[in-house]
Amino acid sequence: MPRSRTKASDNALAAGRPAGGDARASAAHFTHFDGSGQAHMVDVGAKDVTKRVARAGGRIAMNAETLAMVRKGTAKKGDVLGVARIAAIQAAKRTSDLIPLAHPLMLTRVAVAFDDDPTGISIEVTVETHDRTGVEMEALTAVSAGLLTIYDMCKAADRAMRIGEIRLLEKTGGRSGHYRAA
């Protein structure tokens, strides 16, 4: 079966260097590919167990009438934010079932917070563990599922809702240290 590679990676390999620049940069940025370009699950067995925390956020824009229904709890499908909170928590727990190369992790905490303004709802998810790999994917997956659940529960009233701005806000722990979005 042929390998999946980009033209840029083919050109880099033909020139005798790893795709994406020097070996250190390549290893730091594309750890899910082995030396021959095949996707693989990263071996984290030699890493230390440390406390890992990740915060991610996102937003769903909606019309004022839909937002008012969510705030009042009068949406036809029920408590929109309550169900979205449970969806986000469940998604964090099931990330390795959804993201093919993510490791299954024993999460120690998943916290979900919502905020709203006149044009929509923001979600922020914090995920924690004591493990050998980070929880960024769990936080991002949780945000995505929470926002998709809000869309699902409100789509009868507002199909023009827009999901966006999903991103990692902060992460701590592990070899790469602390990251905070600008």
Q: Flag whether pLDDT at 18 surpasses 50.
A: no
Q: What is the DSSP string of 1-23?
A: ------HHHHHHHHTTS-TTSSH
Q: Give, in order, the Cα–Cα distances in Å from 18 to each of 40, 74, 140.
A: 17, 56, 29
Out of 4-13, 134-143, 153-162, pick the least confident: 4-13
Q: Flag whether pLDDT at 65 surpasses 60.
A: yes
Mean pLDDT for 35-47 is: 75
Q: Flag whether pLDDT at 126 surpasses 60.
A: yes
Q: What is the pLDDT of residues 139-158, one digit of tens each?
A: 999 999 999 999 999 999 99
Mean pLDDT for 106-124 is: 98
The residue among 153, 122, 137, 126 whose CA lies nearest residue 59 is 122
Q: How many CA atoms lie within 13 A of 9 on its CB side?
A: 13
Q: What is the rounded distance in angstroms from the CA atom of residue 163 to the CA atom of residue 149?
A: 11
Q: Report angle CA 134, 98, 109 to the nearest 5 degrees.
A: 40
What is the three-class DSSP state of 55?
strand
CB-based contact 71:126 (threshold 8 Å): no
Q: State the pLDDT confidence band at 167, using cuts at 50, 70 and 90.
A: very high
Mean pLDDT for 62-73 is: 96
pLDDT for position 33:
76
Residue 117 parent element (H or E): strand 107-117
Using the structure block, give the residue that is written with the tokens 């199909």. Answer: 159
The better pLDDT of the pair 176, 108 is held by 108
| Mean pLDDT, rounded, of the chain | 86
Mean pLDDT for 105-124 is: 97
pLDDT for position 67:
97
Q: What is the rounded distance in angstroms from the CA atom of residue 120 to the CA atom of residue 147?
A: 11
Q: What is the pLDDT of residues 76-109, one digit of tens each?
A: 999 999 999 999 999 999 999 999 889 999 999 9
152 carries an active-site annotation: yes
Q: Structural domains in the chain? A: 10-39 (no CATH), 50-176 (3.30.70.640)
Q: Which of 34, 48, 131, 152 is catalytic?
A: 152
Angle of helix 80-93 versus helix 64-72 axis, rounded to 10: 80
- Please tell me the pTM assigned to this model: 0.81
Out of 14-23, 30-39, 68-77, 113-122, pick the least confident: 14-23
Alpha helices in the chain (DSSP H): 7-14, 23-29, 64-72, 80-93, 95-98, 136-154
